[in-house]
Structure 1
Amino acid sequence: MSATRYRRFLKLCEEWPRDESKKGRDLGTVLRQRVAHAFREGENTQISDPEKCDQMYESLARINTNVYRERFPRIRDTSFTGVTLEECKMLLATGSMQQMDEEKKGLWKTLMERFSSKAPEDSPDKPEK
């Protein structure tokens, strides 16, 4: 029975879309990592709680097939802030997140990082001759 569960999870991982704009941070990548961790021995993995495993699979399968999106359709494709789906995707992309992190540092810290790197021969730890 464990082999069947393993194959079902593998099929779900194949179907689950990856978001290339969120390298290593998207739900598809996390799902693949968790399945690999949970089924370390592949089809031979012993499941300690088969009922919970089946429940988890069913929940993920419902999300993947948009059951809730169809059951509870949205009136508008914006959030309460008025941000559209495209704008949200752009803001959450890895490149945008890195850029925002750089902007958070502030001008002084950025300048200090750029100009504080010294050449190895200028290092104060180097003994003088």
Structure 2
Amino acid sequence: MAARSTLQYRLFMKICDQWPLNPTRKSRDIARFIRRKGMYNFRDSNSSQLDSEVCRNELDSLQRLVDNVHRDQWRPRPRTEGCSGHHLETINQVLSDESAELSKLGDKGVISRNLEAMKAFMKRKS
């Protein structure tokens, strides 16, 4: 059983090595999340507690994501723009950590920002 767990851990680490880290999203990077989740699962579980079938399914799913199986199967057009019509460079800039800090997206929701904008507008008007 321990040999199976070791093999699954090695496969997980191999998949993690193939998954690129995004330097613009340090706190919200999916690759970092997957690494942390996998390390937590392997570290905190004994080899007897690690469900082999569930672990194998997760490893297969991660491998399909790394290999871009779904992207290649379902992408109908060249990847120059997103579904919003904006270029991917613009979308990546907007989604970066720097942009989030500048706009304070993490602190306020859409309604709060709109209410503040309306209050500021009403103060200027009066």
- Bin the TM-score by the shorter chain: 0.7 to 0.9
Number of residue pairs matched?
106
The aligned counterpart of 2:84 is 81
Identical-pair percentage: 29
Matches within 5 A, 1:1-129: 1-40=4-43, 45-77=47-79, 78-101=81-104
Contact 2:16 2:35 survives alignment (8 Å): yes
Contact 2:27 2:97 survives alignment (8 Å): no
What RMSD, in angstroms, separates the aligned Cα atoms of the two structures? 2.4
Structure-2 separation of matches of 1:50 and 1:72: 30
Normalising to structure 2: TM-score of the pair? 0.73
Contact 1:21 1:93 survives alignment (8 Å): yes
Aligned residue identity for 1:73: R
Larger relative contact order, structure 1 or 2 (CA cutoff 8 Å, min sep 6): 2
Structure 2 CA distance for partners of 1:86 and 1:38, relative to 1, 3 Å: same
The aligned counterpart of 1:116 is none
List per-residue Cα deviations over 1:48-87 (Å, max 9, x = no partner). 3211111111011001111111112231432332122111
Aligned residue identity for 1:28: A
Normalising to structure 1: TM-score of the pair? 0.71
Aligned residue identity for 2:6: A
Structure-2 separation of matches of 1:83 and 1:52: 38
Gaps of 5+ in 2: 118-126
